[in-house]
Homo-oligomer: A and B are copies of this chain.
Amino acid sequence: MKSHTKYLWFHTEQKRAYINITREVEQAVTESGIREGLVLVAAMHITAGVYVNDAEEGLLQDIDDWLEKLAPTGPNYRHHRTGETNGDAHLKNLLIGHEVILPVTEGRLDLGPWQQVYYAEFDGQRRKRVVIKVIGE
C-alpha cells in the first residue's frame, strides 16, 4: 500500500468563501502515483467544510444563502459566552460536512462530469488548513 499526504493553506479575505480545490486534489493524486485507491480531503478546522458540487457562480451564492438560512449568523449562541462570535460557523460546518472521500481509478480522480471539490470557509480572515491523503496502490 502506498500513501501520500499534503496540506493546503488558506487565508481568505472574506469571512465566508467557497474555493474550488479540484486541481489541487487531482495534483495530489498524480503525485501519489496511486492507480487504485481513495483520497480523503478534510478541513482541519471546526468552522470550515469540504464538499462536492457544481462550479457555477449563481449556485455558490444559492449555497451561501441556504447555509445562512439554516445556520444563521447571530448573537444568540451559547458558544458566544466563551468570547467567540462564530457559533453559526460551527453549525454550517456540521451541515455541509468537514470531509469528503473520493475514488481514485486508473490513476485519476474518479469524479462525475460536473463534480468539483470545494473548500468552504465559514470563519475566515485567518490561516486555515486542509489535509489531503491518498491511499492505495
Residues of A within 8 A of B (CB): 1, 3, 5, 36-38, 40, 42-46, 51-54, 56-59, 61-63, 66, 70-71, 77-82, 87, 90-91, 93-103, 105, 110-115, 129, 131, 133, 135-137
Question: Quick one: which of B5, B44, B81, B105 contacts A112, CB cutoff 8 A?
Answer: B44
CA distance A73 to B74 in the complex (A): 24
| Shortest beta-carbon distance from A32 to chain B in Å | 11
Task: Pick the most buried of A3, A59, A98, A136: most chain B CB atoms within 10 A of its CB.
Answer: A59
Task: Quote the shortest CB–CB distance from A47 to chain B (angstroms).
Answer: 9
Q: Do A46 and B95 touch (CB < 8 A)?
A: no
Inter-chain CA distance A62–B92, complex, in Å, is 12
Known: A40-B103, A95-B95. 10 other contacts (CB 8 A): A38-B38, A38-B135, A43-B112, A46-B114, A52-B99, A58-B80, A59-B79, A62-B87, A63-B90, A63-B94
Closest Cβ–Cβ distance, residue A24 to chain B (whole Å): 16
Contacts A45-B114, A53-B94, A131-B110; is A38 near B40 (CB within 8 Å)?
A: yes
Return the contact of A42 from the options B82, B93, B103 (Cβ within 8 A): B103
